[in-house]
Amino acid sequence: MKKSYPILVALSILVAAGLLFGPADMAWAKKKYILIGSTQTASSHYAYAVALTKVINKYVPELNASVVETGASVDNVKRMRAGQMDIGAIVTGKVMYEAWKGIGMWKNMVTPDIRMLWAYTASIDYYVVREDSGVKALKDMEGKKINPGMRGSSTEATTKQVFDILGIKPDYHVGGTTDAVAAIKDGRIAGYVKTGVGLQLDASTLDVMTMTKIRLVSMTSEEVKKVKAVVPYLPFFTVPAGKIKAMPSQPEYLSWGMVVCGVAMKSFPDDLTYKCVKALLKGKDTIVSAFPAHAQMNVPKDTVNITMIPLHAGAYRAYKELGVKIPDHAVPPEAKK
């Protein structure tokens, strides 16, 4: 009888476990765990990714989503290609298009299965430098220590591309946003390039301004013309004089920018994608509270008008149900079968 004692104990534990964990717990155990790629925590866009994850977990009970801090756009697409991530919450339209077409840095990494989910904001990229750096024009950045954008991001890749086109060669300081902010404050670098929140300065730039006087370096119309001749699908934005809240005396500002989107591979389940799109729309107030620039977007209409690649089949279904007119190039091939 003594030998059977451990078995009885084990059976008792299993029975107790069955009593302790009811139907709700069993349902939780059946949830599909997914990873959502974001950006670095110092960026205002990270707050958007956290809010997005919150609404997905609220409105899609089949999912248990978690945010992953990443290097943003380029890094997110690479991780999805490798099967390490399910949704790239933060991917620019430029990176998405280049990866899909296999051009630019994606020449040897063509990604035909990447699909558009939604567009959540359009933002300008600012050239931010210390006021005492002596930099007053892009050409003055020749040889200066500049952080081109956080490592692995679309900003970093596009900044380098723009400088190459213009024939300007800064001394690049490669690193993350937190490191760049610290380096600007203590004078180790002249400045950095940082995506705004819509047309406003982001949290990291506001942080720099608490201790350091800065200057925003605008592009000239001639510089824009040269860049667009090489990269016609890169969007440019103009901020009217006095419209940057943190710098009301700033003259008109011109620079390239990005439409920032959520993407997934076509292999991500259609029904779950459909429900994630619905969750984004239902949870708009939650997302706007965390990322105010999202309020400016009409997600269904803006997404289908902006995308240069096919929608995910699940997103296509969601927008079609809403009566949005979807252009032919945005219709996923798998939805035509």
What is the dihedral angle through the alpha carbons of 249, 252, 256, 262, rounded to the nearest 10 degrees? 60
Q: What is the mean pLDDT of the chain?
A: 91
Q: In angstroms, how far is CA 307 from the centroid of its own chain?
A: 15
Alpha-carbon torsion (96, 102, 107, 110), positive or negative: positive
CB atoms within 10 A of CB 252: 11
- φ, ψ of residue 303 to 5 degrees: the values are -60, -50
Mean pLDDT of 33-60: 95
d(CA 311, CA 262): 11
pLDDT for the residue 17 = 46
Mean pLDDT of 152-181: 95
pLDDT for the residue 15 = 46
- φ, ψ of residue 60 to 5 degrees: the values are -120, 85
pLDDT for the residue 22 = 53
Mean pLDDT of 231-247: 93
pLDDT for the residue 24 = 47
Strand pairing of 145-147 and 191-195?
Answer: parallel
Residue 154: pLDDT band with limits 50, 70, 90: confident
Residue 75: pLDDT band with limits 50, 70, 90: very high
d(CA 67, CA 85): 10
335 or 328: which leads in pLDDT = 328
Domain 24-122+260-335 coded CATH 3.40.190.10: yes
- Tokens encoding 126: 């600012």
15 or 102: which leads in pLDDT = 102
Domain chopping of the chain, boundaries: 24-122+260-335, 124-258
Q: Does 26 have pLDDT greater than 60?
A: no
| Amino acid at position 101, single letter | K
Q: In angstroms, how far is CA 102 from the centroid of its own chain?
A: 20
Quick check: 74 and 112 in contact, CB under 8 A? Answer: no
pLDDT for the residue 335 = 87
Residue 44: pLDDT band with limits 50, 70, 90: confident
Residue 213: pLDDT band with limits 50, 70, 90: very high
Quick check: 145 and 188 in contact, CB under 8 A? Answer: yes
CB atoms within 10 A of CB 189: 24
pLDDT for the residue 16 = 47
Residue 70: pLDDT band with limits 50, 70, 90: very high
Domain 124-258 coded CATH 3.40.190.10: yes
d(CA 311, CA 276): 14
Quick check: 246 and 204 in contact, CB under 8 A? Answer: no
d(CA 171, CA 246): 28
pLDDT for the residue 81 = 97
Contacts from 330-337 at CB under 8 Å and sequence distance 24+? 330/116, 330/304, 332/115, 332/266, 334/266
Residue 1: pLDDT band with limits 50, 70, 90: very low
Q: 24-122+260-335 with 124-258: one CATH topology?
A: yes
Alpha helices in 103-170 (DSSP H): 154-166
Residue listed under structure tokens 């990322």: 291
Whole-model pTM: value is 0.76
Q: How far apart are the first and last CA of the chain?
A: 66
**Among 121, 123, 116, 122, CA closest to 319:** 116
d(CA 178, CA 43): 9
Mean pLDDT of 286-315: 95
pLDDT for the residue 5 = 52
